[in-house]
């Protein structure tokens, strides 16, 4: 019998790390369901925003929004609106993530 031949097959490094228990799979399932619900809500908001375009006149015209027009060239960056949306979403995530 040669040295590298043995009764049991050699163990491969990292094989045990490939296994997952049911708990991890359940957590992944919950995460994916939550992500799906968030996508549905965001899609609904976008549909409503598309149907009600122009009904919120101040949104997109806040102080801090950058608008530059030169001849036939326009540049618009809604910095103030982006900050407001970021703060509101951060507060919502903070409120809903509390256990």
Task: Spell out the long-range contacts of 15-20 with Cβ–Cβ below 8 A and sequence spacing 24 or more.
Answer: none
Contact between residue 74 and residue 68 where contact means Cβ atoms under 8 Å apart: yes
Predicted confidence at residue 14, as pLDDT, reads 52
Model pTM?
Answer: 0.46
44 and 63 fall within a common domain: no
pLDDT tens for each residue of 53-92:
666 666 777 888 998 999 999 999 989 989 988 998 898 8
Residue 15 has pLDDT above 60, yes or no: no
62 and 49 fall within a common domain: no
61 and 46 fall within a common domain: no
Answer whether residue 38 is part of any domain.
yes
Answer whether residue 75 is part of any domain.
yes
Return d(Cα 57, Cα 21) in angstroms, integer: 52
42 and 22 fall within a common domain: yes
Q: Could you tell me the residue range of the domain that residue 42 belongs to?
A: 16-54
């Amino acid at each position: 019998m040669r040295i590298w031949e043995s009764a049991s097959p050699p163990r491969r490094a990292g094989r045990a790390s490939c296994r997952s228990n049911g708990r991890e799979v359940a957590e992944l399932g919950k995460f994916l369901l939550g992500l799906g619900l968030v996508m549905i809500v965001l899609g609904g908001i976008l549909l409503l925003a598309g149907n009600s375009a122009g009904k919120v006149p101040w949104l997109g015209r806040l102080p801090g929004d950058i608008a530059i027009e030169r001849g036939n060239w326009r540049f618009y960056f809604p910095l103030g609106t982006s900050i407001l949306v970021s703060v509101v979403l951060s507060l919502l995530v903070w409120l809903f993530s509390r256990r």
